[in-house]
Chain A
């Protein structure tokens, strides 16, 4: 069970933003992609999810995803927490979670799963009948993660989950991602600017510069490498 990208190019029509990217995410591992603003991190995520046109080879479990539409890719077990959380603001928290299960066929067990996420994030349970747009940024991020998890994915893609959150909330969020990863053996591909925190829970990482992979390595190696420290960790 591997998500594999080989020589992937993607963009929005006027030239490629992501160029010749190859990477892998294996079962149960957390992989982080570090990159500055404008490096093409979100474009890469949108390419994997099928939101934009892409070339090259994206395969999961041997299935070629490169030409599939987003709704089919979700059904193959790849869920994304989009940048900016993608909250559906005029739906309630409960409805947002149910929306997360729209790609599932076993609707009978959806309520059970929703309850489980309410146990994980009691703040969401307290606000289940509220419009999701009224939640705080941190709560919306919890909602985005649990909504993506409602599709029972095999791989969770997280696009810049720390965006707009306070340092404390970022720590909580990454701790919670780590525990989801451990409890469910959930593979994750996380795109982050907040390199230190992301490397803290990841096993491996890639460096994305101007749309291409500029380096790769174990999380431990990356967090001690001088050039990575200078470019991404800021000390």
Chain B
């Protein structure tokens, strides 16, 4: 029982990270219909900035907040300079630009900060005794903090989309761009804002996982794949779906890896890909997505 719980908690912790990054993917996808494969790299870049700030004596919280601000800014700039000029219905050009951005940002970070992974401090106390015991299984403070921040972020996004004029305008822009224009919504600006949200979310996530993954140019490589699977499972246009999708994938993956002997740690990623494949075959719109989003 205790072992099962431990594995469940581990899976959930991983899943929270997948869902966190998937949330960023959803933010850009909703408006621009762009799958930003460079989302993880942009988050990585911001994590390096946070590291640099901490290195220069900034408190961790302030460093994370500033990194998130940089993330917001770069999200907006990328949309304005690289994505918007491609126009609407430019799926393949957008995909290519995102891949180019992936390579470019990765190389740039390598040039600036080099190849050696760097340590990053925890946000909350993380000594060997800093955990909550759940029936014997350990729930570490840092993991609780990440999950807590994710809940806050997704709740805030939900509230914005659901209850504010701005959120309504963003949903209208995402749901039917032509109608949105006729109703006076500045669709381009709404899409840009989606990228700003995404950049912020990604930049928040990076420094939170950095104590575990270390800050390196490859810190998001596998996470971006998991995030794509999570967003697909949740439905690519649903923020809450992305988070739930992430958690489901994290749990299923970890349990399968633990209890199916030939999978083990080495084939973990394959579990996520199998889930991705099943979703695409059985229910392409995902658990919470609308049907138009099925063409991913």
Chain A residues packing against B (C-beta within 8 Å): 49-51, 69-71, 74-75, 79-80, 82, 86-91, 95, 98-100, 102-103, 107, 147-148, 151
7 pairs from A and B in contact (CB 8 Å cutoff): A70-B184, A86-B179, A88-B180, A99-B180, A102-B169, A107-B165, A151-B183
Total interface residues on B, CB under 8 Å, equals 18
Binds A, one of B19-27, B118-126, B170-178: B170-178
Can you add 14 more A-B contacts, CB < 8 Å, to A80-B182, A99-B169, A99-B179? A69-B186, A70-B181, A70-B184, A71-B185, A74-B183, A75-B184, A86-B179, A89-B175, A89-B292, A91-B175, A95-B168, A103-B183, A103-B184, A148-B182
Tell me the bound Cα distance from A69 to B178 in angstroms. Answer: 13
In the complex, what's the smallest C-beta–C-beta distance from B126 to chain A, in angstroms? 42
| Given A89-B175, A91-B172: A51 in contact with B182 (beta carbons within 8 A) | yes
Taking a contact as CB atoms under 8 Å apart, the answer to whether B183 and A99 are in contact is yes
Convert B175-213 into 0s and 1s, putting 1 for each residue whose CB lies closer than 8 angstroms to a CB of A: 110111111111000000000000000000000000000
Chain A residue at minimal CB-CB distance from B166: A102
Number of A-B contacts (CB under 8 A): 72
Q: Answer whether residue B290 sits at the interface, using C-beta atoms and an 8 A cutoff.
A: yes
Q: Which chain B residues border A75 with CB–CB below 8 Å?
A: 184
Q: Which chain B residues border A87 with CB–CB below 8 Å?
A: 176, 179
Residues of B62-86 at the interface with A, using a CB-CB cut-off of 8 Å, are: none
Q: Which chain B residues border A148 with CB–CB below 8 Å?
A: 182
Q: Which chain A residues border B184 with CB–CB below 8 Å?
A: 70-71, 74-75, 102-103, 151
Q: Which chain A residues border B185 with CB–CB below 8 Å?
A: 71, 99, 102-103
Taking a contact as CB atoms under 8 Å apart, the answer to whether B172 and A49 are in contact is no
In the complex, what's the smallest C-beta–C-beta distance from B189 to chain A, in angstroms? 9
| Given A71-B184, A103-B183: A90 in contact with B175 (beta carbons within 8 A) | yes
Q: Which chain B residues border A107 with CB–CB below 8 Å?
A: 165
Taking a contact as CB atoms under 8 Å apart, the answer to whether B178 and A147 are in contact is no
Q: Which chain B residues border A49 with CB–CB below 8 Å?
A: 181-182
Tell me the bound Cα distance from A80 to B183 in angstroms. Answer: 8
Taking a contact as CB atoms under 8 Å apart, the answer to whether B168 and A147 are in contact is no
Tell me the bound Cα distance from A103 to B290 in angstroms. Answer: 26
Taking a contact as CB atoms under 8 Å apart, the answer to whether B181 and A71 are in contact is yes
Smallest CB-CB A-B distances: 10 pairs: A103-B184, A86-B179, A74-B184, A70-B181, A88-B175, A71-B184, A90-B290, A99-B172, A88-B176, A80-B182
Q: Which chain B residues border A102 with CB–CB below 8 Å?
A: 165, 168-169, 172, 183-185
Taking a contact as CB atoms under 8 Å apart, the answer to whether B172 and A51 are in contact is no
Q: Which chain B residues border A147 with CB–CB below 8 Å?
A: 183
Chain B residue at minimal CB-CB distance from A79: B182
Q: Which chain A residues border B290 with CB–CB below 8 Å?
A: 89-90
Q: Which chain B residues border A99 with CB–CB below 8 Å?
A: 168-169, 172, 179-180, 183, 185
Centre residue among A49, A99, A151 by max chain B CB count within 10 A: A99
Tell me the bound Cα distance from A79 to B184 in angstroms. Answer: 9
Convert B142-170 into 0s and 1s, putting 1 for each residue whose CB lies closer than 8 angstroms to a CB of A: 00000000000000000000000100110
Chain A residue at minimal CB-CB distance from B176: A88
Chain B residue at minimal CB-CB distance from A98: B168
Tell me the bound Cα distance from A49 to B182 in angstroms. Answer: 7
Taking a contact as CB atoms under 8 Å apart, the answer to whether A51 and B178 are in contact is yes
Chain A residue at minimal CB-CB distance from B182: A80
In the complex, what's the smallest C-beta–C-beta distance from A74 to chain B, in angstroms? 4
